[in-house]
C-alpha cells in the first residue's frame, strides 16, 4: 500500500453541493449549471489552498534542511579556517627544525573517529507530517479499559485483547531468542566437531602433500634421500584409507573425500565411473567370501614375504631376556582386543565365534592356541582371519615407524573411542567411519613422523626382528614342501619363506599377522615407556616379546600340520613358556599405559581400522598382482577373468613385468624370486580356480577396482616408502652388526644383499615406470583440455599401467623384507600419483588456460560491450532536450575534462560553434524545474537496439525533430526547450559554416561515439550527434549523397513525409536521438562530401532555416532514391545501349544474354525513377527540385567518370 503523500480531491467534490442543490428545487437548469460551475470554482480555490499549504509544507521542510546544511557548511568553513590559520605556524616550526627524527619517538594521537551510533534512525518522533497526520486523524480505540475491573489479568488486559501493539515486538523477540539459541548450539556442535577433525584434516592434507612432493622428488631424482619413514606410514595409511573407502563404500565415490585433493576426487570419480558393475564390497564381505579369500591368499603370501628379511635379526634378539618382556604380552593382549574389534566390521556375522574366542584369548594366551586350532580346522574362517591379520600385518609394516609416538597414542585413543562405537554399531556406517579412520590414521602417522626421526632406527630394527620371528615358522612349514624347499634352501631363507608361505598360507598368515600386531603394540608400549629405557633394551625387549608371542602360535600352527622342525619347536616351546608367564599381566600394563595418558587404552580399534583398510588395499593389490602373475603364467584364466579392457591393460603391463623379471634374473636370487613369485601366483591362481567362475568375474572387477584404488590413493604416498625401504636395508645390516655373534648373520647378510639387489631392481623398475607414466602424463596433459571424463579415463589407464608394475615389483621384493610390498606399490603408485598429480595440475592449467581465454574474451567482450552500451546510452540523451545541457557544458569547459581522456583531440574544436551558444540553456536545474526533461530522459534511457532496419522510424523521428525545430511543438515544450531549439538552429548554421573542418570532426566524434562516456560527456555528445544528424539530413537533402541515398531509397517507400498527429514530447525527443544514431552510422559516408558541402554551405543554411525542412526531407527522400537509381542507370543506360547495339549487330552469346538481362533490369529500374521524381517534385517545393537536379548532375558526373571504366570492362567482356 503506497503511502499517500497528498490527495488532491476533485474540485467539484471540494465545492459545497449546497451551491447547486437549491437550484434543483427550483428546477432551473441554468441555475443548476451555474451552481455546479461555481462549485467547481470553489473546489479549484480549495485546491489552490491545498496547493499553497502543501507548498508551504514542502518549502518549510526544505528550508529547515537547507538551513541545517548551511549551518554545517558554515561550521566546516570555520573549521577549515582554523586549520588554515594553524597551518602556517606548524609549517614554520617544522621548517625551522633541522632534524625530524624526534617525530619518530613522539607518540601519535589517540584519536579515533567518532563513529556515529547508527541506531534510532527511525524514530516515531521523526515521522513525516503526512504520516503523523494519519495517526492524529485516526480514532482512538474503544474504551475497553472500563472492563478491566472485570478482568483478572489486570489493568490494560482488555485493551490488549482488542489490540496489542506490543504483540509483534514480543513475538519477534521470542523468535530471535530461539534462533540465537539454536545458532549457539549449532556453533558449539561445530566447534566440537572441528576440534577433532581439524588436526586430522590438516595432517592428512599435509601428509598427502608431503607424499606427493616426495613422489615428485623421487621421480625426478633416481636415487633420493632418506626421508622420514613416517611419511611412508602416512602415505600407506592414506592409501589404505582411501582404498577402504572406495571399496567399502561404492557410494563414497560420489562424495568428496576427506582429503579434498582434486586428484583423489578425480580418482574416486573414475572408480565410480569405471567400476559401476562392481557389487558393493560390503556385500562381498558379508555374503560372498570367495573374492575375499583370494585376496587373503595373496595378502598372506605378501605378508609372509615381508616378514622374512628381518626374521634373522629377531632370532638374534629373541634370546635376550629382559624385564620388559612383560610389556610384550600386554601388547599381545591389546592386539587381541583390537582383533576383536577389527573382526566386527569386516565379518560381523560369520566370525562371532572367533571373536568370542579371541576375546577370551586376549585374557589367556592358551586359549589363543585353541583359537588357532580352530582356525586351522576351519579353513574358510582361517582364511578370513588371515585376511584380517594380513591387514594387521601391513599395519605393522608401517606402524612400527609410527607407533613409538606417545602423543599419537593419546590422540589415537581419543579419536578411536567414537570410531569403535561406530564399528560396533554396524558395517552400514562405514562411510563416516572410514573418513574418521583416515583422519585418525593420518594424524597418528604424522605425529609418528616427528617422533620417528629419533626412534626410527629402533622401530625398524624391531620390525626386522618381528620378521625374523616369522622366518623360522615359515621355514618349518616349508620343509615338507619339496618343490619350493629346494630352491629356497639353495638360495636363501627368504625364498624359503616365500615358498613356505605359499604352501601354508592359511596357517601361518594369521600367526604372522598376530605377531606383527603384537609387535606393534609392544612397540607402542615400549615407546610409551621408552623415555626411561635405552633403545637397545627396547629393541631386545620387543624382539623377545614378539618371539614369545609368536612361538606358541607357531607351535600350535605347526602341530596340526605336523611340519615343525625340532629346533624351531624347542624354541617355540621355550618362548611359549615365557610367553604364557608373561601373558597373565599384559592387560594391566597396557592399562597403566592408558592411565599415563588419561585415556582408556582399550581403544586399539584404530589398528583394527587400519588393518581393515590396509587389508582391503593390500588384498586388492595382491589380488591384482596374483592376477598379473597368473596372466603371465597362464593367460587363459586371466582372459576368462578379466574384461577386454583389463586384458589390454594387462598386456600393456606384461612387457614391463617381463623386463623386470629379466633384470631380476641377472642375480640368482632374483631368478629365485621370480620362480617363487610364479609359484605364489600359481597358488593364487589355483585358489582362484577353486572358486566359481562367478567369483572370478567378481574378482576381476575387484581387480580393476584395486588397481584403481591403488593408483588413486597410493599416489600421495609415493616415494616415501622407497626411502623407508632403503632405510630398512640399512637397518637389518646395523642390527646384524650389533648382534654380530648371532647365528643368523649369514641370513642377515644374505638378506641385506638380496634386499639391496632387488631394491636396485625396484628402483630401475621405478625408473621404468616413470617413463611410461610420464608418457601417459604427456598424453594426459595433452588431453587435459578435454572433458573430465576423458581425463578420468586417461588417468585410470595410467593407474592401471603403473599399478600392475608396482604389484609385480612387490612380488619381486617380497624377499627383501618388511615394507617391500608397500614400497613397491608406493613406488609405482608414487609414479602414478605424480602423474596424476601432474595431470591434475595439467587439468587445472588446462582448465585455467581454457578458462582464461574465455575469461579474457569475456572481459574483452564485457569491456567492449559496455562501450556499446555506453554508446547507446550516450546516444539516448541525444534528444533535442539534452542539447542545451550539452551546449552548456561545452561552454563550461567540463567537456574537456571528460572527453580529453577519451579519443577526441578534435573534440575541442567543436567548442567554437558550441561556445557561441548562449548560457540560457545551461541551467542545471532543468530537471528540477522543467518537468518534461526528466521524463524524457527516463524514456530515453530505456535500452533500444538500433539497427539499420529501424532507419525508417529514425528518419521519421528526425522529421519530428525537425518539426520541433520549426517551432511546431514549442507549445508543448518549456520555454527552455524552445530556446534550445532555436539555438540549435544557430548552432547548425555555425557548424555549416565550419563545414570543412567541423564536419570531419563531427564524423570522428560519431565514429568515436562508441567510447564510453562519463556522465558529463554522455549528456554532451548527443547534442553534437543530433546536430550532426540534422546536418546530415540536410546534407542528404541538398547534396543527395549517393551513399545516403541508398538508405533513403529504402526509407522513402515507407515514409509519409508529413505526419499530422504529433506524438508526445518524449517520443519526439527519443526519435531524434535515434536518428542521430543512424546518422552516426552513415556519418562516414559524408566524409566524401565534405568538400562539396563546404562549397555549398551558405546556400544551404538558408534552406535549413526554412520551416518546412523536415517535410522537404520526407519529400526529397524518394527523390533521392530516384536520383540514385538515375545515377546508377545513367551509366548503365549508356553502357546498355552500347551493348544492345553490339548485340543486335554482332553477337548472340550467352554473355550478351546475361547483359541483356542486366540491361533489362536496369531499364526497369530506370523507368521508375523517371516517373517518380516528377510527382514528388510537384508535391514538394521547387527548391527541392533544384537541389535534386544539382545532386543528379553531380551524380551523373561521377557516374560518367565511372562509366568509362565500365564501358571498357563491357567492351572487354
Partner 1 sequence: MTNAVNVGIAVQADWENREFIANISLNIRRLFDFLLQFEATTKSKLASLNEKLDVLEHRLEVLEVQVSSVNTAMLY
Minimum distance from CB of 178 to partner 1 (Å)?
A: 38
If the CB atoms of residues 90 and 407 are measured against partner 1, the closer one turns out to be 90
Minimum distance from CB of 929 to partner 1 (Å)?
A: 7
- Cite the DSSP H helix spans in 911-974: 911-915, 926-929, 932-941, 951-965
Minimum distance from CB of 113 to partner 1 (Å)?
A: 7
Minimum distance from CB of 84 to partner 1 (Å)?
A: 10
Cβ–Cβ < 8 Å for 157, 150: no
Minimum distance from CB of 967 to partner 1 (Å)?
A: 23
Using CB under 8 A, pick the residue from 48, 424, 588, 1161 that binds partner 1: 48
For 799, the grid coordinates are: 593407474
Minimum distance from CB of 86 to partner 1 (Å)?
A: 5
If the CB atoms of residues 8 and 693 are measured against partner 1, the closer one turns out to be 8
Residue 81 touches partner 1, criterion: CB under 8 A:
no
Cβ–Cβ < 8 Å for 572, 555: yes
Region 101-130 residues binding partner 1, contact defined as CB under 8 A = 102-103, 106, 108-109, 111, 113-114
Window contacting partner 1 (CB under 8 A); options: 84-92, 275-283, 832-840, 856-864:
84-92
Q: What is the DSSP letter of 666?
A: T
Window contacting partner 1 (CB under 8 A); options: 75-83, 252-260, 895-903, 1054-1062:
75-83
Minimum distance from CB of 980 to partner 1 (Å)?
A: 20
Using CB under 8 A, pick the residue from 16, 21, 86, 129 that binds partner 1: 86
Region 872-931 residues binding partner 1, contact defined as CB under 8 A = 927-929, 931
> Whole-angstrom Cα distance, residue 212 to residue 216?
6
Which whole-number Å values give the CA distances from 575 to 329, 459, 464, 512, 604, in the listed order? 12, 22, 18, 16, 25
Instruction: Give the max Cα distance, the chain.
Output: 147
Using CB under 8 A, pick the residue from 40, 605, 806, 1118 that binds partner 1: 40
Helix (H, G, I), strand (E, B) or coil at 28: coil
Contact residues for 1070 (Cβ-Cβ < 8 A; gap 6+) = 876, 879, 936, 939, 940, 944, 957
Cβ–Cβ < 8 Å for 641, 627: yes
Residue 2 touches partner 1, criterion: CB under 8 A:
no
Minimum distance from CB of 1063 to partner 1 (Å)?
A: 20
Using CB under 8 A, pick the residue from 87, 153, 283, 1095 that binds partner 1: 87
Using CB under 8 A, pick the residue from 25, 30, 139, 149 that binds partner 1: 30
For 1091, the grid coordinates are: 568538400
If the CB atoms of residues 69 and 743 are measured against partner 1, the closer one turns out to be 69
Residue 291 touches partner 1, criterion: CB under 8 A:
no
Window contacting partner 1 (CB under 8 A); options: 83-91, 437-445, 816-824, 828-836:
83-91
Minimum distance from CB of 1169 to partner 1 (Å)?
A: 51
Region 927-986 residues binding partner 1, contact defined as CB under 8 A = 927-929, 931, 934
Residue 44 touches partner 1, criterion: CB under 8 A:
yes
Helix (H, G, I), strand (E, B) or coil at 1180: coil
Cβ–Cβ < 8 Å for 440, 419: yes
Residue 93 touches partner 1, criterion: CB under 8 A:
yes
Number of neighbours of residue 880 by Cβ within 10 angstroms: 29
> Whole-angstrom Cα distance, residue 769 to residue 264?
20
Q: Which of 710, 623, 603, 823 is nearest to 240 (CA)?
A: 710
Using CB under 8 A, pick the residue from 26, 72, 194, 198 that binds partner 1: 72
Minimum distance from CB of 1 to partner 1 (Å)?
A: 18
Region 552-571 residues binding partner 1, contact defined as CB under 8 A = none
Q: What is the DSSP letter of 371?
A: H
If the CB atoms of residues 113 and 349 are measured against partner 1, the closer one turns out to be 113
For 573, the grid coordinates are: 616351546
Window contacting partner 1 (CB under 8 A); options: 32-40, 333-341, 678-686, 1072-1080:
32-40
Which whole-number Å values give the CA distances from 961 to 70, 949, 1026, 1067, 1109, in the listed order? 43, 20, 9, 10, 10
Minimum distance from CB of 791 to partner 1 (Å)?
A: 54
Cα R_g (the chain), whole angstroms? 49
> Whole-angstrom Cα distance, residue 624 to residue 752?
28
CA 471 to chain centre: 53
Residue 226 touches partner 1, criterion: CB under 8 A:
no
Residue 99 touches partner 1, criterion: CB under 8 A:
no
Cα 1041–Cα 1045–Cα 1047 angle in degrees, nearest 5? 130
> Whole-angstrom Cα distance, residue 885 to residue 902?
20
If the CB atoms of residues 102 and 143 are measured against partner 1, the closer one turns out to be 102
Window contacting partner 1 (CB under 8 A); options: 85-93, 786-794, 909-917, 1165-1173:
85-93
| Residues in the chain, overall count | 1213
Dihedral sign for Cα atoms in the order 300, 306, 311, 317: negative
Using CB under 8 A, pick the residue from 22, 66, 169, 177 that binds partner 1: 66
Q: Which of 1069, 1101, 789 is nearest to 940 (CA)?
A: 1069
Minimum distance from CB of 22 to partner 1 (Å)?
A: 17
If the CB atoms of residues 32 and 795 are measured against partner 1, the closer one turns out to be 32
Minimum distance from CB of 977 to partner 1 (Å)?
A: 16
What is the residue-wise DSSP string for 158-204? HHHHH--THHHHHHHHHHHHHHHHHHHHHHHHHHHHHHHHHHHHHHH
Cell 560390503 locates to 282
Residue 1053 touches partner 1, criterion: CB under 8 A:
no
Minimum distance from CB of 98 to partner 1 (Å)?
A: 13
Minimum distance from CB of 875 to partner 1 (Å)?
A: 25
Minimum distance from CB of 979 to partner 1 (Å)?
A: 20
Number of neighbours of residue 1153 by Cβ within 10 angstroms: 12
Using CB under 8 A, pick the residue from 21, 79, 194, 789 that binds partner 1: 79
Residue 356 touches partner 1, criterion: CB under 8 A:
no
What per-residue string of b and e applies to 516-553 under the rule 16 or more CB within 10 Å gives b? bbbbbbbbbbbbbbbeebeeebbbbbbbbbbbbbbbbb
Residue 58 touches partner 1, criterion: CB under 8 A:
yes
> Whole-angstrom Cα distance, residue 850 to residue 856?
10
What phi, psi does 277 have (nearest 5°)? -70, -20
CA 503 to chain centre: 53
Residue 131 touches partner 1, criterion: CB under 8 A:
no
If the CB atoms of residues 117 and 1150 are measured against partner 1, the closer one turns out to be 117
Size of the site for partner 1 (CB under 8 A): 50
Using CB under 8 A, pick the residue from 21, 80, 1107, 1213 that binds partner 1: 80
Contact residues for 120 (Cβ-Cβ < 8 A; gap 6+) = none
If the CB atoms of residues 79 and 844 are measured against partner 1, the closer one turns out to be 79
Minimum distance from CB of 37 to partner 1 (Å)?
A: 4
Residue 666 touches partner 1, criterion: CB under 8 A:
no
Using CB under 8 A, pick the residue from 21, 24, 61, 662 that binds partner 1: 61
> Whole-angstrom Cα distance, residue 347 to residue 344?
6
End-to-end CA distance of the chain: 80
Judged by the rule CB under 8 A, the positions of this chain that interact with partner 1 are 5-6, 8, 11, 29-30, 33, 36-37, 40-41, 43-44, 47-48, 51, 54-55, 58, 61-62, 65-66, 69, 72-73, 76, 79-80, 82-83, 86-87, 90, 93-94, 97, 102-103, 106, 108-109, 111, 113-114, 927-929, 931, 934
Amino acid at each position: 500500500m503506497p503511502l499517500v503523500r497528498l490527495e488532491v480531491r476533485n474540485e467539484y467534490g471540494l465545492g459545497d453541493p449546497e451551491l447547486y442543490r437549491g437550484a434543483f428545487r427550483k428546477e432551473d437548469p441554468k441555475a443548476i449549471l451555474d451552481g455546479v460551475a461555481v462549485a467547481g470554482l470553489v473546489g479549484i480555490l480549495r485546491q489552490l489552498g491545498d496547493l499553497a499549504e502543501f507548498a508551504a509544507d514542502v518549502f518549510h521542510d526544505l528550508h529547515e534542511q537547507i538551513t541545517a546544511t548551511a549551518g554545517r557548511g558554515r561550521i566546516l568553513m570555520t573549521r577549515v579556517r582554523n586549520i588554515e590559520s594553524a597551518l602556517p605556524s606548524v609549517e614554520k616550526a617544522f621548517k625551522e627544525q633541522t632534524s625530524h627524527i624526534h617525530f619518530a619517538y613522539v607518540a601519535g594521537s589517540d584519536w579515533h573517529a567518532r563513529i556515529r551510533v547508527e541506531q534510532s534512525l527511525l524514530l516515531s518522533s521523526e515521522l513525516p507530517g503526512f504520516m503523523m497526520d494519519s495517526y492524529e486523524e485516526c480514532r482512538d480505540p474503544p474504551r475497553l479499559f472500563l472492563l478491566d475491573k472485570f478482568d483478572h489479568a489486570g489493568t490494560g488486559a482488555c485493551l490488549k485483547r482488542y489490540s496489542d501493539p506490543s504483540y509483534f515486538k514480543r513475538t519477534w523477540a521470542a523468535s530471535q531468542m530461539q534462533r540465537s539459541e539454536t545458532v549457539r548450539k549449532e556453533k558449539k556442535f561445530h566447534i566440537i566437531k572441528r576440534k577433532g577433525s581439524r588436526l586430522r584434516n590438516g595432517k592428512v592434507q599435509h601428509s598427502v602433500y608431503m607424499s606427493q612432493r616426495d613422489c615428485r622428488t623421487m621421480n625426478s631424482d633416481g636415487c633420493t634421500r632418506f626421508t622420514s619413514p613416517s611419511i611412508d606410514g602416512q602415505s600407506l595409511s592414506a592409501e589404505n584409507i582411501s582404498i577402504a573407502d572406495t571399496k567399502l563404500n561404492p557410494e563414497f565415490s560420489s562424495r568428496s573425500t576427506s582429503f579434498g585433493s582434486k586428484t583423489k576426487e578425480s580418482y574416486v570419480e573414475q572408480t565410480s565411473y569405471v567400476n559401476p558393475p562392481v557389487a558393493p564390497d560390503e556385500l562381498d564381505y558379508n555374503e560372498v567370501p570367495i573374492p575375499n579369500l583370494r585376496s587373503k591368499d595373496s595378502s598372506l603370501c605378501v605378508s609372509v614375504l615381508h616378514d622374512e628379511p628381518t626374521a634373522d635379526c629377531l632370532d638374534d634378539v629373541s634370546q635376550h631376556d629382559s624385564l620388559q618382556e612383560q610389556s610384550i604380552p600386554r601388547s599381545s593382549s591389546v592386539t587381541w582386543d583390537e582383533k576383536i574389534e577389527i573382526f566386527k566390521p569386516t565379518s560381523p556375522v560369520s566370525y562371532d565365534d572367533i571373536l568370542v574366542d579371541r576375546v577370551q584369548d586376549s585374557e589367556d594366551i592358551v586359549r589363543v592356541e585353541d583359537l588357532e586350532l580352530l582356525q586351522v580346522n576351519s579353513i574358510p574362517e582361517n582364511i578370513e582371519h588371515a585376511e584380517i591379520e594380513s591387514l594387521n600385518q601391513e599395519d605393522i609394516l608401517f606402524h612400527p615407524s609410527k607407533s613409538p609416538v606417545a602423543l599419537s597414542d593419546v590422540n589415537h585413543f581419543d579419536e578411536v573411542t567414537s570410531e569403535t562405537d561406530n564399528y560396533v554399531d554396524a558395517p552400514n556406517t562405514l562411510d563416516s567411519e572410514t573418513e574418521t579412520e583416515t583422519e585418525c590414521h593420518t594424524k597418528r602417522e604424522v605425529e609418528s613422523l616427528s617422533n620417528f626421526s629419533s626412534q626410527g632406527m629402533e622401530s625398524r630394527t624391531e620390525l626386522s626382528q618381528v620378521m625374523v620371528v616369522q622366518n623360522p615358522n615359515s621355514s618349518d612349514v616349508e620343509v615338507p614342501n619339496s618343490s619350493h624347499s629346494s630352491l629356497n634352501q639353495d638360495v636363501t631363507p627368504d625364498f624359503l619363506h616365500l615358498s613356505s608361505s605359499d604352501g601354508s598360507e592359511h596357517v601361518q598368515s594369521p600367526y604372522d599377522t598376530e605377531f606383527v600386531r603384537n609387535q606393534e603394540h609392544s612397540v607402542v608400549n615400549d615407546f610409551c615407556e621408552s623415555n626411561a629405557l635405552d633403545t637397545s633394551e627396547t629393541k631386545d625387549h620387543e624382539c623377545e616379546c614378539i618371539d614369545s608371542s609368536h612361538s606358541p602360535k607357531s607351535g600350535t600352527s605347526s602341530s596340526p600340520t605336523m611340519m615343525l622342525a625340532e629346533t624351531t619347536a624347542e624354541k617355540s616351546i621355550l618362548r611359549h613358556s615365557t610367553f604364557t608367564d608373561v601373558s597373565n599381566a599384559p592387560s594391566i600394563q597396557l592399562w597403566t599405559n592408558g592411565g599415563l595418558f588419561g585415556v582408556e587404552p582399550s581403544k586399539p580399534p584404530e589398528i583394527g581400522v587400519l588393518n581393515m583398510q590396509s587389508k582391503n588395499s593390500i588384498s586388492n593389490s595382491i589380488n591384482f598382482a596374483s592376477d598379473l602373475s597368473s596372466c603371465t603364467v597362464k593367460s587363459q584364466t586371466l582372459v576368462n577373468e578379466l574384461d577386454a579392457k583389463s586384458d589390454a591393460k594387462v598386456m600393456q603391463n606384461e612387457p614391463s613385468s617381463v623386463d623386470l623379471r629379466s633384470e631380476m634374473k641377472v642375480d640368482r636370487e632374483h631368478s629365485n624370486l621370480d620362480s617363487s613369485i610364479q609359484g605364489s601366483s600359481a597358488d593364487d591362481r589355483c585358489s582362484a580356480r577353486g572358486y566359481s567362475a562367478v567369483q572370478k568375474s567378481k574378482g576381476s572387477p575387484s581387480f580393476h577396482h584395486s588397481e584403481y584404488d591403488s593408483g588413486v590413493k597410493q599416489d600421495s604416498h609415493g616415494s616415501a616408502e622407497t626411502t623407508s625401504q632403503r632405510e630398512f636395508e640399512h637397518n637389518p645390516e646395523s642390527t646384524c652388526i650389533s648382534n654380530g655373534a648371532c647365528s643368523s648373520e649369514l641370513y642377515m647378510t644374505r638378506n641385506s644383499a638380496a634386499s639391496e639387489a632387488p631394491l636396485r631392481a625396484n628402483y630401475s623398475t621405478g625408473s621404468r615406470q616413470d617413463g611410461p607414466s610420464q608418457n601417459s602424463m604427456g598424453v594426459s596433459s595433452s588431453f587435459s583440455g578435454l572433458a573430465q571424463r576423458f581425463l578420468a579415463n586417461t588417468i585410470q589407464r595410467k593407474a592401471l599401467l603403473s599399478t600392475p608394475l608396482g604389484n609385480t615389483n612387490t612380488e619381486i621384493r617380497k624377499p627383501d623384507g618388511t615394507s617391500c610390498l608397500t614400497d613397491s606399490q608406493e613406488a609405482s603408485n608414487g609414479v602414478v600419483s605424480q602423474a596424476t598429480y601432474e595431470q591434475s595440475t595439467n587439468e587445472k592449467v588446462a582448465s585455467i588456460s581454457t578458462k582464461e581465454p574465455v575469461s579474457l574474451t569475456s572481459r574483452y567482450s564485457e569491456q567492449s560491450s559496455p562501450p556499446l552500451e555506453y554508446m547507446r546510452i550516450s546516444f539516448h540523451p541525444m534528444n533535442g532536450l539534452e542539447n542545451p545541457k550539452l551546449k552548456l557544458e561545452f561552454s563550461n569547459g567540463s567537456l574537456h575534462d571528460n572527453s580529453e581522456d577519451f579519443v577526441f583531440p578534435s573534440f575541442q574544436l567543436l567548442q567554437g560553434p558550441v561556445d557561441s551558444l548562449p548560457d540560457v540553456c545551461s541551467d542545471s536545474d532543468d530537471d528540477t524545474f522543467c518537468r518534461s526533461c526528466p521524463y524524457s530522459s527516463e524514456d530515453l534511457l530505456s535500452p533500444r537496439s538500433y539497427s539499420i532496419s529501424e532507419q525508417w522510424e529514425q528518419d521519421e523521428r528526425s522529421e519530428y525533430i525537425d518539426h520541433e525545430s520549426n517551432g511546431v511543438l514549442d507549445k508543448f515544450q518549456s520555454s527552455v526547450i524552445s530556446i534550445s531549439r532555436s539555438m540549435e538552429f544557430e548552432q547548425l548554421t555555425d557548424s555549416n559554416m565550419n563545414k570543412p573542418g567541423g564536419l570531419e570532426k563531427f564524423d570522428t566524434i560519431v565514429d568515436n561515439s562508441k567510447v564510453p562516456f562519463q556522465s558529463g560527456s554522455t549528456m554532451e555528445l548527443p547534442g553534437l550527434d543530433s546536430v550532426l544528424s540534422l546536418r546530415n539530413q540536410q546534407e542528404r537533402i541538398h547534396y543527395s549523397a549517393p551513399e545516403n541515398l541508398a538508405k533513403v531509397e529504402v526509407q522513402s517507400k515507407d515514409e509519409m513525409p508529413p505526419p499530422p498527429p504529433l506524438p508526445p514530447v518524449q517520443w519526439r525527443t527519443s526519435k531524434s536521438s535515434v536518428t542521430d544514431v543512424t546518422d552516426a552510422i552513415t556519418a562516414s559516408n559524408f566524409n566524401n562530401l565534405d568538400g562539396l558541402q563546404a562549397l555549398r554551405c551558405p546556400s544551404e543554411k538558408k534552406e535549413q532555416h526554412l520551416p518546412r525542412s523536415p517535410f522537404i526531407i520526407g519529400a526529397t527522400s524518394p527523390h533521392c532514391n530516384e536520383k540514385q537509381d538515375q545515377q546508377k542507370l545513367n551509366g548503365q543506360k549508356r553502357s546498355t545501349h552500347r551493348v544492345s547495339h553490339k548485340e543486335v549487330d554482332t553477337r548472340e552469346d550467352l554473355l550478351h544474354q546475361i547483359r541483356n538481362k542486366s540491361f533489362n533490369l536496369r531499364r526497369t529500374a530506370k523507368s521508375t525513377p523517371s516517373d517518380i521524381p516528377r510527382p514528388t517534385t510537384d508535391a514538394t517545393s521547387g527548391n527541392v527540385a533544384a537541389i535534386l537536379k544539382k545532386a543528379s548532375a553531380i551524380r551523373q558526373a561521377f557516374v560518367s567518370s565511372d562509366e568509362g571504366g565500365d564501358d571498357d570492362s563491357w567492351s572487354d567482356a
